[in-house]
């Protein structure tokens, strides 16, 4: 059995216009795919298709050699998706959001672990304020803390460096390296190259 994520001939359209087609790749443990391309070239659409949020119109996506079906719980539990909106409740604090995320994942929330994850991302002073009062970069840090707290084999990240300052960007690069070293897989849409290793997919545009 092949382990990992593979795409064969993936294609997707929006409003009847092709966004991408013929996407092929195979990613095994420890591998990174960086997706680049101009604004509107289809990076977000591709990540949504990979997450199962949108079904591909052509081709096939496989996880551990089985077809990915939209909403399938085994796949959803293997994957972490961080999109533009970060998936964070604005009325809860960073700590409360992470407690909730851990409960949903079937994990027992540990306030110590949550606070340590937030502190390591420079959020020690902002962890109890409602998220709606935080800056964009601070919200993104909360989403990155969630990645650290919920171990997932596959990361699908849409421009994770957006709004992050230099220090937080460096923390994220270290977090991604550790994930890959531990045998994780990542697909990252980015305008800023992340690391020397890893494969690249340019959607043109």
Ligand X SMILES: Nc1ncnc2c1ncn2[C@@H]1O[C@H](COP(=O)(O)OP(=O)(O)OP(=O)(O)O)[C@@H](O)[C@H]1O
Cβ 40 to ligand X, closest distance in Å? 4
How far apart (Å, rounded) are the C-alpha atoms in residues 91 and 191? 30
Q: Does 196 participate in binding ligand X (rule CB under 6 A)?
A: no
CB-wise, 9 or 18, nearer to ligand X?
18
CB-wise, 42 or 169, nearer to ligand X?
42
Binding segment (CB under 6 A) for ligand X, from list 43-51, 73-81, 91-99, 141-149: 43-51
The single residue among 40, 55, 90, 151 that binds ligand X, judged by CB under 6 A, is 40
**86 to 115: interface string for ligand X, x by CB under 6 A:** ------------------------------
Contact (CB, 8 A) for 33 and 201: yes
How far apart (Å, rounded) are the C-alpha atoms in residues 117 and 66? 33
Q: What is the 8-class DSSP label of residue 57? A: S
Q: Does 45 participate in binding ligand X (rule CB under 6 A)?
A: yes
The single residue among 23, 34, 42, 75 that binds ligand X, judged by CB under 6 A, is 42
How far apart (Å, rounded) are the C-alpha atoms in residues 114 and 102? 10
**126 to 165: interface string for ligand X, x by CB under 6 A:** ----------------------------------------
Neighbours of 185 (CB within 10 A): 24
How far apart (Å, rounded) are the C-alpha atoms in residues 22 and 7? 9
Q: Does 44 participate in binding ligand X (rule CB under 6 A)?
A: yes
CB-wise, 9 or 205, nearer to ligand X?
205
SS (H, E, C) 115-159: HHHHHHCCCCCCCCCEHHHCCHHHHHHHHHHHHHHCCCCEEEEEC
Location of structure tokens 């591709």? 46
Contact (CB, 8 A) for 159 and 189: yes
CB-wise, 43 or 146, nearer to ligand X?
43
CB-wise, 21 or 44, nearer to ligand X?
44
CB-wise, 19 or 187, nearer to ligand X?
19
How far apart (Å, rounded) are the C-alpha atoms in residues 161 and 168? 8
* Residue numbers at the binding site for ligand X (CB under 6 A): 14-15, 19, 37, 39-45
């Amino acid at each position: 059995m092949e382990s990992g994520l593979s795409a064969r001939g993936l294609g997707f359209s929006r409003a009847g216009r092709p966004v991408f087609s013929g996407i092929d790749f195979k990613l095994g443990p420890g591998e990174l795919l960086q997706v680049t391309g101009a604004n509107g070239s289809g990076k977000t659409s591709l990540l949504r298709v990979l997450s199962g949020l949108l079904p591909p119109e052509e081709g096939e996506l496989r996880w551990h050699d089985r077809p990915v079906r939209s909403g399938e719980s085994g796949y959803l539990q293997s994957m972490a998706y961080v999109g533009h909106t970060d998936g964070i409740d604005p009325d809860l604090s960073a700590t409360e959001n992470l407690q909730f995320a851990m409960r949903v994942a079937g994990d027992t929330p540990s306030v110590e672990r949550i606070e340590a994850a937030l502190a390591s991302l420079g959020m020690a002073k902002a962890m109890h304020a409602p998220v709606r009062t935080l800056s964009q970069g601070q919200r993104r840090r909360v989403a990155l803390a969630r990645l650290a707290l919920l171990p997932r084999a596959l990361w699908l990240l849409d421009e994770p460096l957006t709004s992050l300052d230099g220090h937080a960007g460096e923390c994220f690069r270290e977090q991604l390296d550790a994930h890959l070293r531990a045998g994780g897989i990542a697909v990252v849409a980015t305008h800023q190259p992340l690391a020397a290793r890893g494969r690249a997919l340019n959607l043109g545009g």
